[in-house]
Amino acid sequence: MITVNLRPGKRRKSSGTSFNFKGMLDNFRGLGNKVKDPLLLGAVAGWVCVLAFLGFVYLNNVRQLYSLEPRLEQARSEHKRFKAFIADKRRQEKIRDSLLAQITVIRSVDGDRYIWAHLLDEVTKALPAYTWLVDMGLAPSAPAANIPAPPPTRGAKKAPAAAAADTTHLPLVQPAVSFIVNGRTVDIQAYTRFLRQLEASPWITDVTPVSAQTVIEKERPVTAFTIKATFKQADSAYIRTVPLSHSVR
């Protein structure tokens, strides 16, 4: 917009709405000349500083609040995720504890169920030719509580030296059982071989010959022997597991 001064001799008055910085500066100087009390000036200056400090602190806090809001949302999402994870972990731990309690009960019931199966299997494997068993049972000195008594084994004069059928071996902590084996042989060397093979078994320890004497059985001289040994839990390397049932097509 172009303004034309029709009176060149006179200066154009400034608009009333324009900012008069010089006038304000003069008024401020005049105010300083009017106020002569230094304590009042110090108090005013102190309040100005306090207000400026509070404004700075407020703006700084607002800025930090805006910057921390994304981190707060991230922490809330992480909290929800880990809360669900911890709840699932606790549920799995309850299931685990329940299964462990059931396994403990089963082990307390079945802990000695397979002792004689192992013993009969190992004794059959160690039995040499021309040697047979008369009976097999618990040693008199061993406590018979909670130990099932084995059925009496009456072998033929020539018991087969082949191993018995495979037995399911469970990795249970089984108690030590002392047992006695009574047998007959027509060869004294077979008796000593039987002792060595029993000692080599991972399930049998403390093999001790109790007695060995010659007797007449069916008009033939044979060696009657008694052996004492102890059952022990074998190392896991010697334990084999077989399925309890097979699907037959």
- pTM check: above 0.85: no
| 94 — pLDDT class (breaks 50, 70, 90) | very high
**Dihedral of CA 109/110/116/122: which sign?**
negative
* Residue type (1 letter), 191: Y
User: What pLDDT score does 87 carry?
Assistant: 92
Residue linked to tokens 């044979």: 222
Residue linked to tokens 């304000």: 24
Q: In CATH, what class is 115-238?
A: alpha beta
If we measure between CA atoms, which residue out of 145, 141, 210, 134 comes closest to residue 178? 141
Q: Where are the domains of the chain?
A: 20-110, 115-238
Q: What is the pLDDT of residues 59-73, one digit of tens each?
A: 988 888 888 888 888
| 227 — pLDDT class (breaks 50, 70, 90) | very high
